[in-house]
Amino acid sequence: MRLTVLGSSAGGGFPQWNCNCRNCAGVRGSTLRARPRTQSSIFVQGDGEDGILFNASPDILQQIKTNAHLQPARRLRDTAIAAVVLVDAQVDHTTGLYMLRERSQALPLWCTAPVAQDLRQGNPIFGVLAHFCGVDAHEIPLDGRSFEIPAVPGVRLLAVPLSSKAPPYSPHREAPEPGDNIAVLIEHAGRRVFYAPGLGEITPGLFELMSSADAVLVDGTFWTDDEMPRLGIADKTARSIGHLPQSGAGGMIEWLDRLPRATRRLLIHINNTNPILDEDSAERAELARHGIEVTEDGQILRWP
């Protein structure tokens, strides 16, 4: 199995186009040792060239250009993206679907029933794409059954509902439904990766799945719960919008510390305000002491 981190940032990317926080201003002015990042997405291949795109970010075209194996050029019109899996209906995970509209056949797409509802009603992407390539939509089961995408044989997926938030345009934004947001356990040839870019709470059952994985790529959005209010950017806390902060009691660091020693721990979906983006920060050094990595665009994880 080969996993490519196409984008490692939260919505807005890094630097965010209109943000002049210390991180964004620093990376623009080269006064901060930090790397620009596009919005969160991964690409997973099994034994062949074709693979699964997990989330289609607004930056998908740049990500395809940067990662040549997504455009293998085997024929006049070609792509290695055999299917798309969505973990939620958020703008930063779905807007890129518009950029894939030139396909000659309907886009094979897997998502949960609540996500499909959001993309037909709240943000009707499916309706718009019907005027172009169309969408061949499949419902992701949430009953504990794993499933396989026919075009990428050997890669099995298991979806688990998470405690998080539906998008602001969702009819169930304030009345969450199972499947608004999911984690996915990705398995190939006995190797497992746990992927959850949005994670508001870790339950015992969820932690058991994380512990069974060779690597976990989990929510790295905020360092503290009050990160945005403290900076004067917004009045909402991390937990109130469905993200478990890294620091503090019950935070992500505490949970990752409990994983088996051999488990690789990586943070993805990192907000532009998070001090861990500064490679010289005390927060980045603390992650290193706990054996936690900060994902970067273009990073490749490979098994065996």
Confidence of residue 206 (pLDDT cuts 50, 70, 90): very high
The pLDDT value given to residue 146: 97
Give me the mean pLDDT over the 200-206 stretch.
Answer: 95
pLDDT > 90? residue 82: yes
Task: Please give the pLDDT value at position 127.
Answer: 97
When pLDDT is cut at 50, 70 and 90, the band that residue 174 belongs to is confident
- pLDDT tens digits for 235-273? 999 999 889 999 999 999 999 999 999 999 999 999 999
Full domain range(s) for residue 180: 2-302
The confidence band for 190, taking pLDDT boundaries of 50, 70 and 90, is: very high
Q: Which pair of tokens denotes residue 106?
A: 């309907």
pLDDT score, position 173: 85
Cα–Cα distance measured from residue 105 to residue 260, given in angstroms and rounded to the nearest whole number: 44
Please state, in angstroms and rounded to a whole number, the distance separating the CA atoms of residues 68 and 94.
22
pLDDT over threshold 90, residue 158 = yes
| pLDDT given at position 304 | 82
- CA 298/CA 176 separation, integer angstroms: 33
Q: Is the pLDDT of residue 40 over 90?
A: yes
Confidence at residue 189, expressed as pLDDT on a 0 to 100 scale: 97
CATH of the domain at 188: 3.60.15.10
3-state secondary structure of 84: strand
Share of the chain above pLDDT 70, in %: 100
Q: Is pLDDT at 276 greater than 90 in this prediction?
A: yes
Backbone φ, ψ for residue 121 (5° rounding): -120, -65
CA 181, 277, 26, 94: dihedral to nearest 10 degrees? Answer: -20
At 164 the pLDDT is 75
pLDDT of residue 115: 97
Contact 245, 286 (CB under 8 A): no
Residue 172 has pLDDT above 90, yes or no: no
Mean pLDDT within 209-225: 98
What gap in Å lies between CA 225 and CA 247, rounded to an integer? 8
Number of folded domains that form the chain:
1
Q: How confident is the model at residue 175 (pLDDT cuts 50, 70, 90)?
A: confident
Q: For the chain, where are the E strands, in sequence order? A: 2-7, 41-45, 51-54, 81-85, 107-111, 135-139, 147-148, 156-161, 182-188, 191-196, 215-219, 264-268, 292-294, 300-302
> Which tokens go with 192?
């497992």
The helix/strand/coil state of 158 is strand
Tens-place pLDDT, residues 50-61:
999 999 999 999
Band of pLDDT at residue 46, cut at 50, 70 and 90? very high
Q: How far apart are CA 207 and CA 183, in angstroms?
A: 11
Name residue 301's beta-bridge partners: 3
For 68, other C-beta atoms within 10 Å of its C-beta total: 10
Helix (H) or strand (E) holding 254: helix 252-257
154-180 average pLDDT score: 91
- The rounded radius of gyration (Å) of the Cα atoms in the chain is 18
Rounded Cα distance, 146 and 159, in Å: 7
